[in-house]
A and B are shown apart, each in its own frame.
Chain A
Amino acid sequence: MRNTPLRRMAALAVLASIVGVAISYLIDWFPTQASTAAGDVDLLYDVLLYVSVPIFVGVMTVVVYSVIRFRARPGDTGDGAPIHGSARLEVVWVIVPFLIVSALSAYGWVVLDNNEDPQADEMVIKVQGQQFAWHFEYPGPDGKPVKTDDLVLAKDRPVKFDITAADVIHSFFVPAFRLKADAVPGITTTFRVTPNKEGTYPIVCAELCGIGHSTMRQFVKIVPEGEAAAWLERERREATASASVSGAAPPLTGAAR
């Protein structure tokens, strides 16, 4: 007889969990996936949701069910059952969450390692954050670096970004790649990405860097390999041309201070 409310409540919780998982499945959470890492990150997030929703729904069910079932009738001044605890139950709710979080951590670790693996044939692009814009530096065909304020990447060509900052901390964030790394004065941070979908996607600064922080937004363009090479060649020629006019290219550092 004592089990009836428990069973009824468990049935309710299962039903509500199914609805909850369905809703979280239907919500379109993420921006476009434009890197090989994005799919894995989104899947990991979805798995986290499918594990979390039943836990949340379970908690809610117990609260709502208890409030309805065990609510005091008007004038009831009695006390509840003097239950002080249950060692068995307490062991269960230590061990089960422990196993869940351990499994999720392991899964997270695997995805992380996978996304940060060095790739063959990586193109190294230097990124510099400066109040309030991003500057880029490509390896030129002749070994001389090509400086530009646009970021154009070849589809399916792995890239490694070496990120620095000229003044304060910025954060190089490309939502479509699901990747972000702070640009820190004094050190070089990195992230690796293999873009896999053509298009134009926002780059934003995600670390408060001063007055212009919210305007520090640029775009990354992903184009076919040949087009990217042609673009880089144009940039190189323009840079050389303007360098021969003005004498020297302006140095990247120190301009904002």
Chain B
Amino acid sequence: MTAVAKFRGPGWWRAALSLPLGLLFSLALVAAARAAYGYDPVIDGEAVTTVALIAMPMAFLVGIGCFDYWFRWASGAPTVPDDHSGHGARSWRDYFRVNTDHKVIGIQYIVTTFVFFILGGLMAMLIRAELAAPGTQFVDPNTYNGLFSVHASLMIFLFIIPVFAGIANYVIPLMIGAPDMAFPRLNALSFWMLPVAGVMMMASFFAPGGSFATGWTAYAPLSTDMPIGQTFFTLGVQFAGASSIATALNFLVTIITMRAPGLTFFRMPLLVWANFTTSLLVVIATPFIAGSQFFVLLDRALGTHFFQTGMGGDVILYQHVFWFYSHPAVYIMMLPGFGIVSEVISANARKPVFGYRMMAFSLVAIVILGFTVWAHHMFVSGMFAWLRIPMMITTMLIAVPTGIKIFSWLATLWRGVIHLTTPMLFALGFITMFTLGGISGIILAIIPVVIHVSDTYFVVAHIHYVLFGGSVFTIFAGIYHWFPKMTGRMYDESLGKIHFWLSFVFFNLTFGPMHLVGIDGMPRRVADYAEEFAGLNAFISVSSFLFGLSFLVFLYNMITSWRAGPRADANPWRAHTLEWQVSSPPPLFNFDEIPTVVGGPYEYGVPGAVHGVFSGGDTKDRAPSKTRPAPAVAGD
């Protein structure tokens, strides 16, 4: 390849060239605009940075090749609809370019998000090091505020939300018997916006005045007053948000239109239901956080007055718009985990999911109720007082569909044949930790109590029980469960179990005591605290370091097993869903022949029951079955 061709074709060379071009464009635009208005000097660092934070990521996406096909098509150049040159991975290099294969994109998502998980985790270690004793240990207060802000933003926007999208990207098309996602090129674009968002957030540490330091909540007017680092968050979130909206649309269309013949909505595995409902939440709610951050950007960059009191602005407005997204976001971060746990528990307890329909309906109920509770984050915010009572009641009511899920999982275990594999351990660990997180959630809904504990470490404890003991445990369960399918190799079961027990124990030792310091009155987001909290904080810090180390076991297991683990069968868990009926890893277009679905996804213990059949007659270890009606729901 000649040097010119290297820079002309899509890829890293062209991306590397387009970044400085983006910067030049920003300089030129700002200089031209300021000159036209007669401002002096014509180059303003803050203005250039703001424009560059939009122009450079866009230039990168163009350079790496996300838009090539669409540009060609729009300009009338010949395109080949069946061109699959960008599809699939033949070598590791294919994971580092724009790829339209949902399996490659799934792995790209998962690996990228775990990189940000590690970065966010290292920041958590620094946070705990600083908090190990009162006073200043390692970092000054500004850096400290930056650390917990970037930690939370990475964990939420670059890990939990997208890693679920990654797992679903890999698994959902296989589960519904589709050759790929509905919009493969959009899928690739969605992925490539993610590292862009993550790099922007990390890069804020190099901004003059330090990184954004207003928490992941970025409350105005603090966020409109902060140095330029804040803009890295304001705009970074836009890329992460656009990525998640595009992916959610893709999932919705894929699930609605590309299910295999016979796969009716009430034969879909619960992970598909979970992703369907999550995607509804994403497309409805995510535009609100985009809006809230655009308001902040406009206040910062263009001098609007959305949040400037005395100029007609309203500070509480920010919180309403922000939480109208950010509470549903909690369910965006939890529903896919519910789906994973349903798959793992039914396969490992060898039983149908108890109350399948109620499990599906409870997801829908959570979606609807999830939009009616946002102001419970604002009980002490000074919003109009009457709204607190209805928000308390709706918040409490969410316990009902959530309870349905927990009780149904328990009933699924009952009289099963339970295999305590690593994913099953994580699923069971999830149930206990999430129940605790749910209970502290109930406590956080009761207004007189929350007036005392809001913005204290009690909230920090609650959010980590829900998002780590809850979401991250289900992520580990999902990664272990589908690892054989994704890599074609088995992970090391004993290392997996060691990983589980270490994380389970040290998770509780880290976050359990935070309830106590919180109720005792220690506020959150503080670089320093009163002497009386010193003992417990030292204990929490030591536990957190051991908790952090437990992740190394996982990392070692994943890397060595991916490189040299024993070969995995097509269906090591003897599960019924479609993804297990193809080879591990699956062929380039998933199914050599599209299966027909003839029954429910979890008919364990029902003699002769199958979920999907291939008319070729080969359903692996199961006898070929004639088309038969779905087994009726057996009564009590």
- A residues within 8 Å of B by Cβ? 27, 29-31, 37, 40-41, 44-45, 48, 52, 55-56, 59-60, 62-63, 66-67, 70-72, 76-90, 93-94, 97-98, 101-102, 104-105, 107-109, 111-112, 115, 167-169, 171, 173, 175-176, 178-182, 184-187, 189, 202, 204-215, 217
Contact = CB atoms under 8 A, between A and B. Distances in A.
B588 to A, nearest CB: 32
Contacts of A186: 309-310, 313-315
B215 A62 contact: no
A211 B439 contact: no
A82 B603 contact: yes
Nearest to A171: B455
Nearest to A76: B417
Nearest to A98: B400
Nearest to B381: A182
A128 to B, nearest CB: 14
A71 B452 CA distance: 44
A66 B410 CA distance: 8
B316 A184 contact: yes
Contacts of A207: 219, 455
A83 B455 contact: no
Contact of B636 (A79, A88, A111, A204): A88
Interface stretch (B159-167, B261-269, B389-397): B389-397
Interface string B129-158: 000000000000110010000000000000
A77 B445 CA distance: 45
Nearest to B143: A211
Given A31-B521, A82-B603, A185-B309, A178 B451 contact: yes
A180 B454 contact: yes
Given A112-B447, A208-B214, A213 B604 contact: no
Given A44-B448, A85-B355, A171-B380, A80 B416 contact: yes
A55 B443 CA distance: 14
A208 B152 CA distance: 14
A208 B403 CA distance: 34
A93 B403 contact: yes
B60 interface: no
Contacts of B428: 63, 67
Interface residues on B, range: 35 or more
A252 B142 CA distance: 25
A113 to B, nearest CB: 9
B442 A82 contact: no
A76 B419 CA distance: 9
Given A56-B436, A67-B420, A80 B443 contact: no
B366 interface: no
B343 to A, nearest CB: 15
Contacts of B142: 211
Contacts of B214: 208
Given A67-B418, A71-B420, A105 B446 contact: yes
A94 to B, nearest CB: 6
Nearest to B635: A86
B382 A217 contact: no
Interface string B431-464: 1100110010011011111011011100000000
Given A70-B416, A79-B417, A108 B521 contact: no
B452 A52 contact: no
B352 interface: yes
Given A71-B418, A85-B355, A104-B446, A63 B141 contact: no
Q: Of residues B315, B399, B431, B452, which shows the largest number of chain A Cβ atoms within 10 Å of its Cβ?
A: B452
Given A72-B418, A206-B455, A214-B526, A29 B516 contact: yes
B349 A80 contact: yes
Given A83-B351, A211-B145, A215-B528, A189 B382 contact: yes
Contacts of A206: 380, 454-456, 523-524
A214 B397 CA distance: 35
B396 A104 contact: yes
A56 to B, nearest CB: 5
B119 interface: no
B382 A82 contact: no
B97 interface: no
Pick from B435, B527, B530 the residue with the most CB of A within 10 Å: B435
B634 interface: yes
Given A29-B519, A168-B225, A189-B382, A102 B636 contact: no
Given A169-B315, A214-B527, A208 B413 contact: no
25 contacts: A30-B519, A37-B448, A55-B435, A56-B432, A56-B435, A63-B432, A67-B428, A70-B413, A78-B350, A79-B350, A79-B604, A84-B355, A85-B357, A87-B636, A89-B636, A94-B404, A98-B400, A105-B393, A105-B446, A168-B221, A171-B523, A180-B380, A182-B380, A206-B380, A208-B525
List of 5 A-B pairs having minimum Cβ-Cβ separation, nearest first: A175-B521, A186-B309, A214-B526, A80-B416, A82-B605
A193 B355 CA distance: 49
B411 interface: yes
B71 interface: no
A219 to B, nearest CB: 11
B530 A202 contact: yes
B222 A208 contact: yes
A107 to B, nearest CB: 8
A20 B289 CA distance: 41
Given A80-B604, A83-B414, 10 more contacts: A44-B449, A89-B411, A102-B396, A104-B396, A169-B219, A186-B313, A186-B314, A187-B382, A202-B530, A215-B528
B542 interface: no
A45 B443 contact: yes
B549 interface: no
A116 B277 CA distance: 40
A90 B448 contact: no
Nearest to B311: A186
Instruction: Please indicate which of the listed interface residues A81, A82, A168 has the most CB atoms of chain B within 10 Å of its own CB.
Output: A82
Nearest to B385: A116
B4 interface: no
For B225, B414, B432, which residue has the most chain A Cβ atoms within 10 angstroms? B414
Nearest to A184: B382
Contacts of A48: 442-443, 446, 449
Nearest to A52: B439
A1 to B, nearest CB: 13
A187 B527 CA distance: 28
B406 interface: yes
Contacts of B446: 44, 48, 104-105, 107-108
A64 to B, nearest CB: 9
A31 B516 CA distance: 10
Contacts of A66: 410, 413-414, 416, 418
